[in-house]
């Protein structure tokens, strides 16, 4: 992973969630600190911030791209703000130039949540190489997935890498002396071996995903669905092909009855979950684009190995 991304360090850990937690800890983010992120994401993003005692400050998304809108960042800054955590959702790269500019301007760290975006680029630069650290997930459904769970933290910083290496195993140094409290979060050898083999075929898999996305885009232009838009200057990883429909739930049920099963990522933003809503600070009273997306998004089947026959079936059902 370090070689693929051309970074100095890729530290294997037990999961993408652990990667986020360990990265936050390594950057010294903890009790009472604030991290700017989004609510339209997998719960792992905000769960990790809460796990270190920090406060997720959720801003709205860009409606075309489902990613953190940098225009909202400065409005929520406080003396407690320590980092920005952009999420490259569905494989769509965030506007990293704007985010990194603002982070540098205000002395903030950038933690990239790349769980769904391995293989994506922005302005010719790989996602995962823009921030101070980047966090990967190797859950089996990801573009680069293991047989079980796994994750990694990418960084150019030797000190951060050393902190994470110690923290993932009891706080041990090379002499197995506990330098600080740690945890157990190792990427086991079996998963690492599988990922090493799959990485050799990763670009072929990505080409297949891009071809499937192109097939959807071409076939569904005349449909009632709102199709995904790729950010200018970005290369989408196509972890998911997400469309929007005003009658999402009815449409999903109709498709299911015809043998096509669409996912929803995600039906409930983090700030609406009962166990989270009191612990998240919102940039504004309502996250308009976040809530709208959550009520409309549908994920069409997209994975390597999807046969021409199955693709044709999906297109027949969805286009009508």
Mind listing the domains of the chain with CATH numbers? 2-193 (3.40.640.10), 202-319 (3.90.1150.10)
Give helix 202-219 / helix 189-200 axis angle, nearest 10°. 60
Task: Note the pTM of the prediction, 2 decimals.
Answer: 0.97
User: From CA 177, how far away is CA 33, in angstroms rounded?
Assistant: 29
202: exposed, middle or buried (C-beta count within 10 Å: 0-12, 13-18, 19+)?
middle
Q: Which residues pair with 297 in a beta bridge?
A: 244
Is it the case that residue 320 has pLDDT exceeding 90?
no
**Where does the pLDDT of residue 285 fall: very low under 50, low under 70, confident under 90, or very high at 90 and above?**
confident
- Write out pLDDT tens, residues 139-196: 999 999 999 999 999 999 999 999 999 999 987 777 787 878 888 999 999 999 999 9
CA 45, 165, 117, 99 torsion: positive or negative? positive
Is it the case that residue 308 has pLDDT exceeding 90?
yes
Is it the case that residue 51 has pLDDT exceeding 90?
yes
pLDDT of residue 182: 81
The gap from C-alpha 22 to its chain's centroid, in whole angstroms, comes to 16
Is it the case that residue 252 has pLDDT exceeding 90?
yes
Of all residues in the chain, the percent with pLDDT exceeding 70 is: 100
Indicate the Cα dihedral angle 213, 216, 222, 224, nearest 10°. -90
User: From CA 110, how far away is CA 108, in angstroms rounded?
Assistant: 7
H/E element, 297: strand 297-300
pLDDT of residue 77: 98
pLDDT of residue 71: 97
Q: Which residues pair with 57 in a beta bridge?
A: 36, 281
Q: How would you classify residue 259: left for phi > 0, otherwise alpha for psi between -120 and 50, otherwise beta?
A: left
Distance between first and last Cα of the chain: 42
Among residues 97, 127, 149, 140, the alpha carbon closest in space to that of 1 is found at 127
pLDDT of residue 6: 96
Q: What is the mean pLDDT of the chain?
A: 97
């Amino acid at each position: 992973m370090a070689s693929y991304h051309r970074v100095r360090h890729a530290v294997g850990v037990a999961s993408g969630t652990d990667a986020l937690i360990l990265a936050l800890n390594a950057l010294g983010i903890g009790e009472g600190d604030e991290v700017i992120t989004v609510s339209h994401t997998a719960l792992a993003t905000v769960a990790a911030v809460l796990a270190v005692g920090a406060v997720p400050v959720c801003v709205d998304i860009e409606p075309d791209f489902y990613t953190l809108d940098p225009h909202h960042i400065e409005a929520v800054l406080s003396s407690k703000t320590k980092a920005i955590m952009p999420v490259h959702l569905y494989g769509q790269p965030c506007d990293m130039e704007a985010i990194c500019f603002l982070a540098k301007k205000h002395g903030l760290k950038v933690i990239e949540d790349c769980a769904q975006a391995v293989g994506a680029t922005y302005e010719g630069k790989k996602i995962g190489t823009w921030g101070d650290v980047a966090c990967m997930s190797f859950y089996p459904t990801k573009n680069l997935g293991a047989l079980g769970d796994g994750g990694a933290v990418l960084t150019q910083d030797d000190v951060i890498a050393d902190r994470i290496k110690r923290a993932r195993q009891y706080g041990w140094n090379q002499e197995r002396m506990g330098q600080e409290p740690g945890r157990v979060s190792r990427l086991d050898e079996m998963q690492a071996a599988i990922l090493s083999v799959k990485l050799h075929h990763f670009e072929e898999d990505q080409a297949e995903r891009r071809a499937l996305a192109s097939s959807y885009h071409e076939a569904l232009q005349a449909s009632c669905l709102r199709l995904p838009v790729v950010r200018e200057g970005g290369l989408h990883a196509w972890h998911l092909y997400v469309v929007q429909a005003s009658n999402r739930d009815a449409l999903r049920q109709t498709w299911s009855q015809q043998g096509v099963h669409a996912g929803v990522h995600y039906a409930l933003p983090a700030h609406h979950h009962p166990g989270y809503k009191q612990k998240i600070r919102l940039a504004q009273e309502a996250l308009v684009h976040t809530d709208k997306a959550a009520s409309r998004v549908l994920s069409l089947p997209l994975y390597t190995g999807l046969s021409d026959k199955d693709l044709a079936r999906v297109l027949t059902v969805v286009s009508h």
